């Protein structure tokens, strides 16, 4: 996830224009979100893992943008994407992971989800009425009710995961072929207000190790996987 040392000037101008238009939309319809965005430092990042993400560095909040992915989105979903990022910050999701490092394979696909990341997106997207980018997950897709906290969604997802195959059934097809609508990878780089490193780095490594274990389990549903971590 390297910063772009010399971003293309034309692309940068287009990205800034698209972001400015989205912020103006929020300023008219949801001034609070626009005010929070106005206090974020914006950085262009390559290979972010999604069109946008947030990172907290002490008292500073950064909005990370992958120009290539952002330019691939329709303008109509950008206000929803920015509202999504603001809500992660307002709800302090990067700091609330704790020991929640469970992962799950999505039944019928090759995707593996970090369940706390999914839980945070369910809690946030349930509050957003405007269109979301492809990959926007909603509680009903997993047969869950709206209005829950990230922690409550996490517990529900862990309970719904098959204990032997680590598979998580979905109630409706996932949008965007299961691709993420934003990146949470930068959460592991976040710091507390005292400058201490966030907990996400160790959790990210744990999730990667878990994905490797799932990959070594053989055919899904064969019961060859170890008991999932809680």
Tell the residue number behind the tokens 């109509």, with chain if given: 76
Whether pTM exceeds 0.85: no
Q: Is 26 exposed, middle or buried (0-12, 13-18, 19+ CB in 10 A)?
A: buried
Q: How far apart are CA 37 and CA 166, in angstroms?
A: 37
Check pLDDT > 70 for residue 172. yes
Q: What is the pLDDT of residues 104-140, one digit of tens each?
A: 998 777 788 999 999 999 999 999 999 999 889 999 9
pLDDT at 176: 66
pLDDT at 85: 96
pLDDT at 58: 81
Q: How far apart are the first and last CA of the chain?
A: 29
Alpha-helical regions (H) of 64-199:
67-70, 78-90, 115-125, 150-160
How far does Cα 172 stand from its chain's mean position? 19
């Amino acid at each position: 996830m390297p910063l772009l040392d010399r971003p293309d000037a034309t692309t940068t101008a287009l990205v800034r224009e698209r972001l400015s238009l989205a912020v103006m939309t929020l300023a008219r319809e949801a001034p609070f979100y626009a005010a929070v965005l106005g206090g974020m430092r914006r950085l262009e990042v390559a290979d972010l893992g999604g069109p946008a993400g947030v990172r907290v560095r002490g008292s500073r909040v950064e909005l990370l943008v992958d120009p290539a992915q952002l330019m691939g989105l329709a303008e109509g979903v950008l206000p929803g994407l920015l509202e999504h990022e603001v809500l992660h910050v307002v709800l302090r999701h990067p700091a609330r992971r704790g020991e929640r490092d469970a992962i799950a394979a999505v039944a019928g696909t090759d995707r593996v989800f970090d369940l706390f990341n999914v839980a945070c997106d369910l809690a946030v997207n349930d509050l957003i009425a405007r269109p979301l980018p492809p990959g926007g997950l909603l509680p009903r897709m997993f047969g869950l009710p709206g209005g829950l906290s990230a922690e409550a969604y996490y517990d529900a997802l862990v309970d719904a995961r098959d204990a032997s195959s680590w598979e998580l059934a979905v109630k409706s097809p996932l949008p965007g072929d299961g691709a993420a609508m934003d990146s949470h990878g930068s959460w592991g780089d976040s710091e507390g207000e005292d400058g201490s490193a966030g907990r996400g780095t160790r959790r990210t490594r744990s999730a990667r190790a878990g994905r490797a274990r799932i990959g070594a389990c053989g055919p899904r549903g064969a019961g060859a996987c170890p008991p999932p971590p809680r």
